[in-house]
Structure 1
């Protein structure tokens, strides 16, 4: 089997979505800025292959991708996943009416916001691309932000895996140092960078890691500076046996004390989103930690 993916913009011909671009969009690594802040129709076709060539369309699925202001789709996909999980039947509880209404409401919202019905013209356009009779039948491919990376050779893979094996040790050792030790560690690393020039880049990188950790420690000790109050709705993905952020709510605060109060309020506001397959979790972050996690400001 094989899959083909197509995007149907409001104007112009459909565009093919490569497997590489699809994987990048789903993982949040890639984006299509051209479609930022829009909702786009997407059609996927599951094909049966013989000798590597498509011989039959087994199934098509039509969905709507919601692009954020940077052209990413991951948040929209997670919203659709949460609604799809809500449509699953649940065992009856005390408030039977409420339990029965939730799946129907979620299903209606899922159909209205994340599904569409392709017509014969859209199906015919996909068929023409899969089995083209002339050059014009082939659809153009859409491009993402990421440039195609060079192939990773076996010796390059081996080298980077060997080098990065102990990265966690570096970060862990530096994070355990107290403030006086952080200062002396950073100073010593920069001095060694001057003395051992062949390793200067590595020593400077270690010093920069220590500087960052030192500033976080200072802010956590004093409570000063910019803080973020963060509450996340975590979805339990049984297919990969892990939790994934389905929704994130946050507020930028001028102190740690203000952020503590904001987290409490956000937890109360979103407590109803706690279910048997989602959790609601609060956290305090300095602005340095916020930026390190690449959250939107």
Structure 2
């Protein structure tokens, strides 16, 4: 009967669900995390440098609310966050997603008596590296934070390093959208130039930045774009310099792909990168599926750094 009453309250709009986020550091006091911080950590826009290079336990508390006030703790979901050298968790989350996807048995497996070894091993690795269940002590701390009886019950709220952005007014949004709508024309025009023209373009842009002070920053910007493109063109023509062989396992849904895994090798030239890409493709070909592709790409270190991939 209680369930039906709760369901009726939810349908009437008097009850809703909210999320609370907590971090339980291995060598510190438990912390409450704001929604903005968690969203920033997940998207890669925010960091917690004090936990760089560590693995920490985190909990999402699902709380039922009525008229904006918490009424009961519905459930908790524990996880292990793997912080990179900058204090970010995005790379670790992507690795966890890759293991979770690999742990799913192939849809084409029809023999129920056959147990696929790889998915079971990946599930075991995923559980060991990224799953964690909070104990009663952690739950009690969260409950006290949600329904404090005294001031000290409230957990400290930690902050990331990203500054709170100022409000974007309508005029500001319109202006930046108007300006950025032409960016693709600029980059496309520069990319279409061949090396001799690229050299002349970059030189002329630098010259104009000296004689046209009103637009000097813009001329310098397109000169830098041209010089970068010229170096990439030279690398692609000669095959010299550092190259990367990259293979991505892409998860596709509604014609939108997201990289679940990224594997790469740093090579001394393009020929070595070609060989490395073939080897990586062979190693990960078994992950190809109905909605999963395995794609290879070669790129210079300039392009690698531009995409902000880890080295």
TM-score (norm 1): 0.91
* Residues 88-127 of structure 1 mapped to structure 2, 5 A cutoff: 88=104, 90-93=106-109, 100-127=116-143
Match of 2:278 among 228, 251, 264: 264
Provide the rounded CA distance (Å) in 2 between the counterparts of 1:250 and 1:89.
26
Helix, strand or coil at the partner of 1:141: strand
Distance 1:23 1:193 in 2: 40
Conserved? CA contact 2:98–2:261, under 8 Å: no
Question: How many positions carry a matched residue from both structures?
Answer: 295
Matched, 1:226 2:245: no
SS in structure 2 at match of 1:270 = helix
Out of 146, 153, 159, the residue aligned to residue 143 of structure 1 is 159
What does residue 275 of structure 1 align with?
A: 289
Contact 1:7–1:40, Cα closer than 8 Å, also in 2? yes
Residue ranges of structure 1 left out of the alignment (5+ in a row):
none
CA shift in 2, pair 1:12/1:287, >3 Å: closer
Point out where structure 2 has 5 or more consecutive residues left out of the alignment. 1-16
Per-residue displacement from partner, 1:165-200 (whole Å, max 9, x unpaired)? 111111111101111111121122222222322111
* Cα pair distance change 1:4/1:274, threshold 3 Å: same
Shift of 1:30: 1.7
Confirm or deny: 8 A CA contact 2:102 2:287 kept in the other structure. Answer: no
Contact 2:247 2:296 in 1 (8 A): yes
Contact 2:103 2:120 in 1 (8 A): yes
Q: Alpha-carbon deviation of 1:286?
A: 1.0
Q: Does 1:235 align with 2:251?
A: yes
TM-score normalised per structure 2: 0.87
Is 2:189 the counterpart of 1:173?
Answer: yes
User: Quick check: 2:53–2:85 contact (8 Å CA) kept in 1?
Assistant: yes
Corresponding position of 1:66: 82
CA contact (8 A) 1:189 1:204 kept: yes
RMSD: 2.1
Q: 1:287 to 1:85 in 2, by over 3 A?
A: closer
Q: Distance in 2 between matches of 1:223 and 1:104?
A: 42
CA distance in 1, matches of 2:111, 2:240: 46
Q: Please give the residue correspondences for 1:136-215 in structure 2 after superposition, counting only pairs within 5 Å.
A: 136-215=152-231
Please give the alpha-carbon distance, in whole angstroms, between the structure 2 residues aligned to 1:63 and 1:241: 30
